[in-house]
């Protein structure tokens, strides 16, 4: 549905084409995002109780039974947003584009937006875990992951753990559940590729800074030793072996290189020639160690941080505690990219440096 010209029910200002609009997933009422944040919930609880639509109550055509699929996009049956052809849920309101089940969570992805449900349990209708082993996290419906909101994770509930973890639940929730129930993890390729950046992204700051620093030092050591000594010595070895062969196209083997080093270099010179490869091997070993151990360490970090937050906020309302866990946990992509960018700048400077 195109909301242009329709007034926001909170501020009464008409929606513009470029406005950031969120839609209540229960009745379809549109809001400016900041207006919804101000109220903290939809202001039409009566429509929710009676199963009515904001569209029909305000004189707009009621939502169709199914989303409309065209050759280029899918029009959401609930809010009218145009979605890409491969979408499962609406990018604007989070409603499922096809099928009878509707997502009923806060547009901000945090449980508990409606305090006046019939059973007086806001978590039942607004929680991402409204059904055992079938729940919603960030608008994604997840089936049979072996992860239950009532599971006990060393004194932390599954519901609390999921709110703290946040993004990428399809990967992390099953992994964390497997760690708790069977003590079985899996290799994390994101950590293998980004190492320190991933730790910082998941708010494990000290571990991330240490790993990023080690990674930078190993790369820097490789570049400096290669530039100041190793590259020149390898060039000398290649020239000497090529001249000895009598052919300008001769390509020496590793055994010939090592034989030349043993005959023509001191122990220190030979070590310096091999040092860049040692740095590279150490860095690769560190990447594998991080990849194999990251999920286990992340699980322990989540449990420790959640318990600390609960200890610092005794007696906190359940809904507010979940909001606090979502705020304190989840990710910090901005800091991760900034520190990795600093690493790239430092290493690029070393590569360009020519004494």
Spatial distance between the Cα atoms of 8 and 31, rounded to a whole number of angstroms: 5
Give the confidence band of 285 by pLDDT, cuts at 50, 70, 90: very high
User: What mean pLDDT is reported for the chain?
Assistant: 76
Segments in the chain forming alpha helices (H)? 33-39, 45-50, 54-57, 122-126, 158-165, 169-182, 189-194, 196-201, 205-225, 231-245, 254-264, 267-312, 318-328, 333-352
279 near 287, Cβ under 8 Å?
Answer: no
Closest C-alpha to 23, from 55, 66, 56: 55
pLDDT of residue 79: 65
pLDDT of residue 232: 82
Give the confidence band of 198 by pLDDT, cuts at 50, 70, 90: very high
Give 65-76 pLDDT, tens digit per residue.
566 777 777 877
273 near 265, Cβ under 8 Å?
Answer: yes
* Percent of the chain with pLDDT strictly greater than 90: 16
Spatial distance between the Cα atoms of 58 and 55, rounded to a whole number of angstroms: 5
Token pair recorded at residue 14: 């008409």
**Among 66-70, 113-117, 311-315, which range has the highest average pLDDT?**
311-315
Tell me what the mean pLDDT of segment 106-121 comes to. 39
Residue 195 Ramachandran class (φ > 0 left, ψ -120 to 50 alpha, else beta)? left
Spatial distance between the Cα atoms of 355 and 353, rounded to a whole number of angstroms: 6
Q: Which residue has the tokens 């559940």?
A: 177
Token pair recorded at residue 189: 């390729």
Residue 5 Ramachandran class (φ > 0 left, ψ -120 to 50 alpha, else beta)? left
Token pair recorded at residue 129: 């875990």
Q: Which phi and psi angles does 318 have, rounded to 5°?
A: -55, -45
Terminal-residue alpha carbon distance, the chain = 63
Closest C-alpha to 188, from 156, 211, 163: 211
Look at 246 and 335; give whichever has higher pLDDT.
Answer: 335
Output the pTM of the full model: 0.57
pLDDT of residue 243: 81
Q: Count CB-CB contacts under 10 A for residue 117.
A: 17
Look at 333 and 28; give whichever has higher pLDDT.
Answer: 333
Domain boundaries, the chain: 189-352
Q: Is 196 exposed, middle or buried (0-12, 13-18, 19+ CB in 10 A)?
A: buried
Look at 301 and 248; give whichever has higher pLDDT.
Answer: 301
Tell me what the mean pLDDT of segment 176-182 comes to. 84
340 near 197, Cβ under 8 Å?
Answer: yes
pLDDT of residue 254: 78
Kind and range of the H or E run holding 69: strand 68-69
Q: Is the pLDDT of residue 235 over 50?
A: yes
Kindly state the DSSP code that residue 64 receives in the 8-state scheme: P
Residue 59 Ramachandran class (φ > 0 left, ψ -120 to 50 alpha, else beta)? left
**Among 4-13, 89-98, 125-134, which range has the highest average pLDDT?**
4-13
Token pair recorded at residue 172: 């992390």
pLDDT of residue 290: 94
pLDDT of residue 143: 42
Spatial distance between the Cα atoms of 290 and 296, rounded to a whole number of angstroms: 10
∠ CA 94-100-106, nearest 5°, is 25
Spatial distance between the Cα atoms of 167 and 139, rounded to a whole number of angstroms: 11
Strands 82-83 and 74-75: antiparallel
């Amino acid at each position: 549905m195109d909301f242009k010209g329709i007034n926001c029910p909170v501020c009464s200002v008409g929606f513009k084409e470029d406005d950031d609009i969120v839609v209540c997933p229960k009745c379809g009422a549109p809001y400016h995002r900041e207006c919804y944040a101000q109220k903290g919930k939809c202001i039409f609880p009566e429509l929710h109780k009676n199963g009515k639509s904001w569209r029909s109550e305000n004189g707009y055509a009621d939502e169709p039974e199914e989303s409309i699929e065209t050759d280029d996009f899918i029009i959401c049956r609930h809010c009218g947003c145009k979605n890409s052809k491969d979408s499962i849920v609406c990018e604007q309101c989070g409603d499922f584009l096809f099928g009878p089940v509707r997502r009923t969570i806060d547009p901000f992805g945090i449980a508990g937006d409606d305090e006046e449900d019939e059973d007086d349990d806001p978590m039942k209708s607004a929680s991402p875990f409204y059904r055992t082993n079938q729940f919603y996290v960030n608008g994604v419906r997840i089936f049979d992951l072996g992860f239950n909101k009532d599971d006990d994770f060393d004194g932390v509930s599954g519901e609390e753990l999921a709110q703290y973890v946040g993004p990428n639940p399809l990967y992390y929730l099953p992994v964390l559940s497997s760690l708790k129930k069977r003590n079985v993890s899996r290799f994390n390729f994101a950590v293998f590729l980004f190492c320190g950046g991933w730790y910082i992204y998941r708010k494990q700051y000290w571990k991330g800074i240490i790993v990023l620093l080690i990674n930078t030092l190993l790369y820097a050591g490789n570049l400096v030793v290669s530039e100041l000594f190793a590259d020149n010595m390898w060039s000398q070895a290649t020239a000497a072996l090529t001249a000895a062969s009598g052919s300008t196209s001769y390509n020496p083997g590793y055994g010939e290189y090592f034989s030349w080093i043993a005959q023509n270099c001191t122990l220190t010179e030979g070590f310096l020639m091999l040092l860049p490869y040692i740095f590279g091997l150490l860095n690769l070993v560190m990447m594998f160690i991080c990849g194999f151990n990251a999920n286990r360490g992340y699980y322990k970090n989540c449990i420790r941080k959640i318990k600390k937050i609960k200890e610092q906020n005794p007696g906190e309302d359940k809904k507010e505690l979940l909001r606090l866990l979502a705020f304190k946990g989840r990710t910090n992509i901005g800091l991760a990219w900034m520190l990795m960018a600093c690493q790239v700048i430092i290493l690029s400077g070393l590569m360009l440096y020519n004494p």
